[in-house]
Chain A
Amino acid sequence: MRLLLIPAFILCMLSSATSQNKTIAAGEKLTFAASYNMSGLLNELAQVTMETSEVKTSKSTLLKLKCTATTYSKWDSFFKIRDLYESYVNPKTLTPYLYNRDISEGGHDKFMKYTFNHRTNTVASIMKKTRSNGTIWEEKKSFKIGASTRDLVTTLYHIRNLDIHKASVGDRQNFTVLFDTEENVVSIKLLGKETINTAIGRKECYKLAISINNSNILKGSNDNILWLTADDNKIPVYAKFKIAVGSGELKIKSATGLKY
C-alpha cells in the first residue's frame, strides 16, 4: 500500500507544480478594504489591490501579478504603509521567475528580490534595507528551494487556480511559500460552501481555513478564513484573520477585468 502511495504523491506534486492556469488573465483588478474590527466597530485601515498585467520581453510574454497595500490618508500621519509585492510568472503555468517586494511601513523601508532558476531549483536573493542613518544595507544570497516552492504573490494566485470543486469538505493541501528567504509551509483546508453578501453582490463561496505551520502569524486552525467565489473566477471576496485584540478583515470593494 505504501509503495502505491509514493508514486501517487509524486504525481500529485508534479501536477500541482505544472498545473495549467485556467483562472487568471491579464487586466484583472481586485480592490479590497482592510479593516480592524473591535466589538463590531469597524475601522478601515488600508486599501489592498491585486492586479494582473502582461509584460513583454524580447523572447516571451509574461504575466505580472501585483499586490499593493496603501493606508488611507487619515492614517498616513500615524503609520504610513506603501507596500508593493510583484511577481513575474509564466502565464500558462503561473511558475514564478522574478519576485520583487518593496515595502515602506511607518518609515522603515525594505526591498527584497528573488530570481528563480527552475532548472537548478535555486533562488538568488537580494535584500536592501534602509538603516536609521539613511545608509543602505545590502545582502545577497543564493539558496536551494523545493520544486514546488513559490513566492507569496504567486501562491495567492495559485490558490485561485486550484480545482476546489473536486475537493471535499475537510480536504487539506500544503504549499511551500518563500518568505524572507525562508520556506514556510502554508496549509489550506476546505471548510465548506457559504453564501455571503459582498460589495459585488451575493456570492456563493468556498470557505477556506489558512494556517502557517511553525509560525506565530496566522496561527490557529480555523481563525483565519478566506472566502473564494465558487465560480470559475474564484476571486477572494472576504478574509478574516485573528489578531491580538479583535480581528482583521479584508472585504472586496470592486472587481474588474475578470476572465469569466
Chain B
Amino acid sequence: MKKLFSILGFITAILALILAVTPLFNIAFIPAIAALAFGILALVISKEKQQYKKPIQLVFLMTIIALVLTTYKAVYTESEVGNTEKMEQKEEQLEEESIQELEGLEIDM
C-alpha cells in the first residue's frame, strides 16, 4: 500500500512540477494537492510500520517546489500580448489592397 501511494505521489508531484514551469501553471495546483494527499497517506503508513521514508520526503520536496513556483507565477505574472508588429503591418497592407479592390466593386449605398 505504501509503495502504491509513493508511486502515485511521485507521478503527481512530477506532473505538478512540469505544469508549474509551463504557461498552464494554474492547473499545477490539482496534481500538487493530489501529491500532498498521497504523500501524507504514504507517510502515515510508513510511520505505522517504521519503514524507510526518503522517497516520501522527495515527493514532498517536489510538491513544495511546484506549489511555490505556481503561487509565485499566479501572483506576479500578468497576461500581456506579445509582439504584434508583423500583424499590424499585414493589416495595413491588407487595408490598402482592400480599398483598391473596393474601388472596382459596385457598391449600393
Contact = CB atoms under 8 A, between A and B. Distances in A.
Interface of A: 33, 38-39, 41-44, 47, 55, 57-60, 62, 64, 66, 68, 70-76, 78, 80, 82, 84, 86, 88, 90, 92, 97-98, 100, 102, 104, 115, 117-119
Contacts of B99: 55, 57
Contact of A39 (B30, B84, B87, B102): B30
A58 B82 contact: no
B105 A98 contact: yes
A62 B99 CA distance: 10
B48 interface: no
Contact of B79 (A74, A115, A118): A74
Nearest to A47: B81
Nearest to A99: B98
A199 B95 CA distance: 31
Q: Size range of the interface on B?
A: 20 to 34
Interface stretch (B5-13, B18-26, B39-47, B52-60): B18-26
B6 to A, nearest CB: 25
Nearest to A41: B26
Given A70-B82, A102-B94, A41 B27 contact: yes
Contact of B23 (A75, A84, A86, A115): A75
A146 B84 CA distance: 36
B23 A88 contact: no
B102 A97 contact: yes
